[in-house]
């Protein structure tokens, strides 16, 4: 079994981006500028935005975080998005999800200029991605593909079972892996899938993105399969300073010995997600 080290891959890609940015600066070009809008005080969202801000600094991007109060109205947020759409100084921006309940997330996503939608959530980018056209691909699916590419894991003709059909992970990664170049035969599972364990056990590549801690057990995994664990669940742990630990969707200790490759949680897909956001932002800058 080989551990897929997301931190190592992310560090290598981070160095590549930093080199490109340094070259841009040397040519007298403006550095890429990423803006994150954070509405409210959700702890996990604050942590994620903090990580994105730090990564921007590491690759040489300019970053701005707009912190708005939880009671910000939908119309005010739409005004802010309109302003960023028209701001020539901003190459890409993201609205950190989830948003407070009184704001319609879909309306917000659709208000973002697709050329600045570096999260790749706008229907125009999703549609282009599905058709195999150049698009901003959402960060987690792109991060998973980068891991498979870095470890040269064969995908052509392999049966890939994706557990989860969300718009941000399951559905896009299933679609991308079915496209030419990746050439997997893909099965996408969800909460209504019958005989889920049997279906998963036929996967040469299993991508677990359902958000249920340690759901995937050894009996569900074919010997030699590649297992990508996307899930992140906070489990209370009094031993930790934070009071919790992060657990994936895969029961790592019993599944790992059966796999050819496996991602750990944390340190697998997570670090890649931020890097893919940086890659999209660099591309947005280059396209403008």
Stretch that binds ligand NAP, among 50-58, 96-104, 161-169, 235-243 (CB under 6 A): 161-169
Residue 210 within binding range of ligand NAP, rule CB under 6 A: yes
Work out whether 189 is an interface residue with ligand NAP (CB under 6 A): yes
Q: Which of 170, 172, 203, 264 binds ligand NAP (CB under 6 A)?
A: 170
Residue 228 binds ligand NAP, judged by CB under 6 A: no
Q: Is 2 annotated as catalytic?
A: no
Determine if 140 is a binding residue for ligand NAP (CB under 6 A).
yes
Q: Can residue 190 be called a binding residue for ligand NAP (CB under 6 A)?
A: yes
Annotated catalytic residue 119: yes
HEC readout, the chain: CEECCHHHHHHHHHHHHHHHHHHHHHCCCCCCEEEEEEECCCHHHHHHHHHHHHHHHHHCCEEEEEEECCCCCHHHHHHHHHHHHCCCCCCEEEECCCCCCCCCHHHHHHHCCHHHECCCCCHHHHHHHHCCCCCCCCHHHHHHHHHHHHCCCCCCCCEEEEECCCCCCHHHHHHHHHCCCCCCEEEEECCCCCCHHHHHCCCCEEEECCCCCCCECHHHCCCCCEEEECCCEEEECCCCCCCEEEECCECHHHHHHHCCEECCCCCCHHHHHHHHHHHHHHHHHHHC
Among 159, 165, 234, 258, binds ligand NAP (CB under 6 A): 165
Active site residue 52: yes
Contact region for ligand NAP (CB under 6 A) — 57-65, 94-102, 226-234, 235-243? 226-234
Asked if 196 touches ligand NAP (CB under 6 A), the answer is yes
* Active-site annotation, residues: 52, 96, 119
């Amino acid at each position: 079994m080989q551990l897929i080290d997301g931190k190592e891959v992310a560090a290598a890609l981070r160095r590549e981006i930093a080199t490109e940015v340094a070259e841009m600066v040397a040519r007298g070009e403006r550095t890429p500028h990423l803006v994150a809008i954070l509405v409210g005080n959700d702890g996990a969202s604050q942590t994620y935005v903090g990580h994105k801000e730090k990564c921007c600094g590491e690759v040489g991007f300019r970053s701005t975080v707009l912190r708005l109060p939880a009671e910000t109205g939908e119309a005010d947020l739409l005004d802010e998005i309109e302003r960023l759409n028209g701001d020539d100084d901003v190459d890409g921006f993201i609205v950190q999800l989830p948003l407070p309940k009184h704001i319609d997330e879909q309306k917000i996503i659709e208000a973002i200029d697709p050329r600045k939608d570096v999260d790749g959530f706008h229907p125009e980018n999703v549609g282009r991605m599905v058709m195999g056209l150049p698009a901003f691909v959402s960060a987690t699916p792109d991060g998973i593909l980068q891991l498979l590419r870095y470890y040269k894991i064969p995908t052509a003709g392999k049966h890939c079972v994706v557990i989860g059909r969300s718009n941000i992970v399951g559905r896009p990664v299933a679609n991308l892996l079915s496209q030419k170049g990746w050439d997997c035969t893909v099965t996408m599972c969800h909460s209504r899938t019958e005989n889920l364990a049997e279906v998963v056990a036929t996967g040469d590549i299993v991508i677990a993105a359902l958000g249920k801690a340690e759901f995937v057990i050894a009996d569900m995994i074919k010997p030699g399969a590649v297992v990508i664990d996307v899930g992140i669940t906070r489990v209370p742990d009094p031993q930790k300073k934070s009071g919790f630990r992060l657990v994936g969707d895969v029961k790592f200790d019993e599944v790992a010995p059966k796999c050819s490759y496996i991602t750990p949680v944390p340190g697998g897909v997570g670090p890649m997600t931020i890097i893919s956001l940086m890659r999209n932002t660099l591309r947005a800058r280059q396209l403008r």
